[in-house]
Amino acid sequence: MAHIGSDRLMPAALGVLRDLGYHPREKRPLGCTSRNVYCYEKDGKEEFILVQCRSHQDETDRYLVGVIVEALRQVNSVVLFLEGEPSILKIPAEFLRRIHEDRAKIGDARYTGPHNEQWRIDVYLSDAEMSPQGSSGHRYNIMPYVVRLA
């Protein structure tokens, strides 16, 4: 099944953030052009969040996510909203930036998009792991970033 665009899923993802106590703010990082970057406030602290959405895939537990590299440099965290799942992932951007930098130095980072602007990672929610495509199956634990939904 092909991924369904974030246009349909984004309102649900933003609703989940509101339900978790995040309040939207009308701010953007300086020079940010990604429409998936939002500013939220929770408990008096503001943060910029890159929100990525993926539709449910019946045939696999793997979700392919294209993380926008330029936006990753401008945000505090990345939220992965996976349709139909009982949880979301809220991953510190620094964690992903370190992995991306390591994989890019090694030379096995894979990209997609018209200008190769999206770094490709596979997310295995059932194992709470992610694996950058091209990394020879190297997996990273993302269990600390799983947020269970009520």
Cα–Cα distance, 15 to 43 (Å, whole number): 18
Q: Domain boundaries in the chain?
A: 6-148
Q: What is the pLDDT of residue 5?
A: 54
Whether the pTM exceeds 0.85: the reply is yes
What would be the CATH architecture of the domain defined by 6-148? Answer: 3-Layer(aba) Sandwich (3.40)
132 or 1: whose pLDDT is higher?
132
Q: What is the pLDDT of residue 96?
A: 96
Is pLDDT above 80 for 129? yes
Q: What is the pLDDT of residue 6?
A: 61
Q: CA 143, 144, 149, 150: dihedral to nearest 10 degrees?
A: 110
Cα–Cα distance, 150 to 133 (Å, whole number): 31
The 10s digit of each residue's pLDDT in 19-38 is 999 999 998 888 888 889 99
